[in-house]
Every structure is written in structure tokens, then in C-alpha cells.
Structure 1
Amino acid sequence: MKKWGWLLSVTLTLSSIMVACSGQSGGETKKLSDNKLVVGVTAGPHEEIMEQVKEVAKKEGLDIEIKVFNDYVMPNVALAEKEIDANSFQTVPYLEQFKKDRNLDLVDVIHTVTFPMGIYSNKIKDLKAIANGAKLGIPNDPVNGERALKLFEKAGVIKLKPGTGHHLTVKDIAENKKNVQFVELEASQIPRQLGELTAAAINTNFAIEHGFVPTRDAIFMEGKDSPHVNLIAVRTENKNDPVLKKLEKAYRSAEVKAFIEKEFKGSVIPSW
């Protein structure tokens, strides 16, 4: 009995140590550094803009390390898993939906720029030329898919059901006179598949990365009133950390604004 009692005591002690250590590594709130941030971005405009922000921030004593991603999923996953300190790549509706779908504790802290979504084509110059049964590409995630459908509606290609109370999908098309077929693809892949489609709605960052100049090459674009403003997100536990004020000051600086306006010529719009 003494032998088994001793083993039980040791086992319980080791278990307590493991639980304590686990709690310290997984649940402990950790303040962001005051002078260094690792920021995740998608390749293309967000990366280019953050490079400029990095230069401005350096003058204020803030070192920004940029980590580049090639999709819309991993930047939020990496942020939640504490592989990065912040990310800059997504719109407000996209973040809200992603948080809901994956139960992530992330928060919007700085509004940055707006990327008007555009419709592109290698085959037609005007959406009036769309043939019956044409294949049109849209992103396959709920937020950008709805955004694309609304853009095609605004362009007069389809009509959507009003006031559905959820993210609109192809099932919510009320009128489709030309019987167009919507092909849902991962957003970053749409530019590569454009040759197989009559036209497609492409997010501006992926359009620019593929070599398009949105103000020149898009055959239809969102207006400047687009509600899809982009943002910088962090973990909720860090939303009040002082370093974010430094990041906001650098991002919203006159130097960065001038770069955006000169480099993107209206395809990317500062939101401040």
C-alpha cells in the first residue's frame, strides 16, 4: 500500500506541474513589445505599403518585421497562434466572418485603406457583351463572394433577392436573364483562371500582384463608397498596447499616404 501511495503521490505532483506549465504557456496574456512588431501581410499592395510603414516607423524607434502570406486564411490563423503580432490584409466584414467561423479572439484596431473590387476579362471589354451561359468567376469565401455578386448586380448582370439577412450566395440570385454560371474559386487563384472564364471579380491586391492596373484594366469597379475598408488586426488581449499607437502614426503618416496615392493611382484609397 505504501508503494502504491507513493506512486500516486508522484503522479499527482507531476500532473500538477504539467497543468501549471501548460497554463503559463497557453493562457498567459503577453503585452506586445514597445519597439518591435511582427506584422503579417498578403503579397502585393499590402506588402508594399507595409514596407513604407516600416521605414517611417524606424524613425520613431519601432522595428517592424514583415511576414508575407499568399492567402486569406493563414494570416489570421498565425495571429491567433501568436506566430505574428498583427496582420494587415483584410476587410472589416471578412474579419468578422472569419472570427465567427473559427471562434478566434481577434479585433480590428486600425483602419487602413480601401481596395475597390473590380471585374476583369481577357475576352470582353464591356459587360453588355456577356454571352448567354457565360462563366463568371467569384471568390469562394462568404464575404468576398457576396461582395462580388453585389458588384455583378451593380453592373446590371444579375439581380439579387433583397434583405435575406445572411451572406448572399448564388442561391440568392433573383434574376439571371443571360443564365450566366458563377464559378467559385479561391480568391488568390482567380487571376490565374481568368483565361478559362468570360470575366471574374478579383480583389485588388491579387489583381495588382498578377500585373493588372485596376483603374486601367478593370471593366467595372466598386466606387469609393465601398464599405469594405481594410484594417490592422491584433489579438484582443493586445488591443490597448501602446505600441499600436506608434504603428498607427506610422501607417497614417503623410509619407505613406503620398506613396499610396502615387504608386496605386486610385486603385488603393487611403481611408483616413
Structure 2
Amino acid sequence: MKNIVGVWIAILTLAVLAACGGGDDNADASGKKTIQFGATSGPYSDMVNEAIAPLLEEKGYEVKNKEFTDYVQPNKALANGDLDANLFQHGVYLESFAKEHDLELSEVIIVPTAPMGVYSNEFSDIESIENGSTMAVPNDPTNLARALLILEDEGLITMKENIDPLRASLQDIQENTKELEFVEVEAGQLPRLVDSEDLSMVPGNYALAAGMDLLNALALEDMPDQYRNRVAVKTEDMDAQFVKDIKEVIQSEEFESIIDEKFQGFGKPKWMKE
């Protein structure tokens, strides 16, 4: 009888230890130890590899990062469970893509983002831009609206009153003080037009992919947070421990130090400036 009681005591002891989680204290409370990230090739994949992953690994996670070359598959892979989180898109795109494809995806936190800039091999600063200069701008509505905001901030144009600045077009320009001649092209082609046009508005990701230095821009975008990239996860995972840990490492001083050292010129979101 004593032997039987002893056996049951041993079993109960093991059960209690298992319930208390005798494994890695830094792993996700659900037992999750691996986080599969996805990011587009370039600066945001670098941000995962050089800033986010090392800090998560200090918390006991193994972080894997899958690189994508398009802007469709990272969200589909996240929704179907192939990824735990992704980093490649701004808020406007995330919201519209999720709605269009009926996906339950949510933003975790906004990260520093490479801004659009005004680049030129012809002029050294905004003040020296001559009347009638040609300027290449993106032909897609989202990036064109961003470009027009920069030009207005720099005093090169004024926009009509009561327009939605996030949907502004060339037709919404009220005054073109330098009589700029706009050339609309696909955003990915804009780095090449720095050579062929007087000025070119180049989104940050394309500038970096072309080997351009963000700090060489005549002006950099003070972008609204809607246009900054963010980490996204499935909505059902928003309360998971691994998601809380992702947010915590991005909010850390260590993360900001890495950004300041390795991602110079990236615009910081509002929460980092407060």
C-alpha cells in the first residue's frame, strides 16, 4: 500500500512541475519558442535580422526570417499560419489588403521607416531649384499623395483647401511656385530618373535598394504614421506572449540604439519621439 501511495505522490509531483512550466522561463507562455518572421528583401528584412531577432533571442526565442520579393505573399503567408509575424507594409496598405482579401490581421507596433526623399544630381538644395525644372513623381495614388505632401512642406507647391492629403493628386495643386514639370512613373523606376530628370521623388525602400544614401536627399519626408511600416500578426494572436515580447523589444532602448547606428535616415514613429 505504501508503495502505491508513493507512486501516486510521484505522479502528482511531476504533474505539478509540468503545469508550472519547467522549461525555458523566457519562452512564450504557451510553449512557443520559435517565431517565424516574414519581411521583404532589403531594409526591413535587415531590421528583423539585425535589430528585432537578436533582442528576441535574448528572451529565449529562436527567430527565423523568410524574405519575400512581393507585397502579396507576406500577408497571405501570415494569414494561413506559415508566418507568425511580418514586417513590410504601412498602415494604409495593411488595412486595405486585409479588407480586400477578408483577412483578420492586426498591427502590433509601428517601426522606424525609410522616408521618401527629393533627390537630384542637378541641384544641391531646395532653394537652388530653378523654375521649369522636371520632377519625377510616383504614378500610384498612395505614393503620389506622399510626394505632394513633401513638396508642400518644402514650399514648392500649395494644395487646394479641404482636400484629403492622403489622396491628393496633381489636379489638387493650387499653386506651383517653381512651375515644376511633373513626370509620373512607376515608383520602382524613380531611382533611375535621378540621372535623367532634374529631380526625382524616391520612396525610401527603392532608394536603399538602389544603393542611395538617404542623407543625400535635398529633403526627407516627415511622413504620417499611416505611411510608416509596422509589425503585423493574425488578430487572434494579439494577446499571445510572443506578440507582447515583439512589442517590448521594439520599444526598448537597445532597439533604438541599433536603429540610430545601422538605419540612419529612417524616420521614427510618433511613439518613439514622445
Say whether the fold is shared (TM-score over 0.5): yes
Aligned ranges 1:84-233 → 2 under 5 Å: 84-131=83-130, 133-165=132-164, 167-177=167-177, 178-186=179-187, 188-215=188-215, 217-223=216-222, 226-227=224-225, 228-233=227-232
Q: Structure 1 residue 232: deviation in Å?
A: 0.5
Q: CA RMSD in A?
A: 2.8
Aligned 8 A contact 1:87 1:232 in 2 = yes
Q: Which runs of 5+ in 2 are unaligned?
A: 1-29
1:200–1:179 Cα change, 3 Å: closer
Provide Cα deviations, 1:84-111, integer angstroms capped at 9, x if missing partner: 2221122223323433455443211122
Provide Cα deviations, 1:52-74, integer angstroms capped at 9, x if missing partner: 32122122221221122334444
Q: Structure 1 residue 230: deviation in Å?
A: 2.6
Q: Report the TM-score, using the length of structure 1 for normalisation.
A: 0.74
Q: Structure 1 residue 237: deviation in Å?
A: 2.6
Which secondary structure does the structure 2 equivalent of 1:163 belong to?
coil
Distance in structure 1 (CA, Å) of the matches to 2:151 and 2:75: 28
Which secondary structure does the structure 2 equivalent of 1:108 belong to?
strand
Distance in structure 1 (CA, Å) of the matches to 2:119 and 2:75: 28
Distance in structure 2 (CA, Å) of the matches to 1:152 and 1:33: 50
Distance in structure 1 (CA, Å) of the matches to 2:142 and 2:159: 15
1:69–1:197 Cα change, 3 Å: farther
Distance in structure 2 (CA, Å) of the matches to 1:262 and 1:206: 21
Aligned 8 A contact 2:44 2:88 in 1 = yes
Aligned 8 A contact 1:116 1:226 in 2 = no
Aligned 8 A contact 2:134 2:180 in 1 = no
Aligned 8 A contact 2:107 2:231 in 1 = yes
Provide Cα deviations, 1:171-195, integer angstroms capped at 9, x if missing partner: 3222234152141313x44223432
Aligned 8 A contact 2:114 2:204 in 1 = yes
Provide Cα deviations, 1:200-236, integer angstroms capped at 9, x if missing partner: 2222233233222222x0001124x743333111222
1:134–1:189 Cα change, 3 Å: same
Distance in structure 2 (CA, Å) of the matches to 1:197 and 1:77: 38
Which secondary structure does the structure 2 equivalent of 1:137 belong to?
strand
Which secondary structure does the structure 1 equivalent of 2:39 belong to?
strand
**Percentage identity across aligned positions?**
32
Q: Choose from 50, 54, 58 the match for 2:48.
A: 50
Q: Structure 1 residue 268: deviation in Å?
A: 4.3
Q: Report the TM-score, using the length of structure 2 for normalisation.
A: 0.74
Q: Which runs of 5+ in 1 are unaligned?
A: 1-31
Provide Cα deviations, 1:139-177, integer angstroms capped at 9, x if missing partner: 344332211111112122222222224611223222234
Aligned 8 A contact 2:37 2:64 in 1 = yes
Q: Which residue of 2 aligns with 1:38?
A: 36
Aligned 8 A contact 1:133 1:181 in 2 = no
1:80–1:160 Cα change, 3 Å: farther
Which secondary structure does the structure 2 equivalent of 1:269 belong to?
coil
Q: Structure 1 residue 47: deviation in Å?
A: 1.8
Q: Which residue of 2 aligns with 1:259?
A: 258
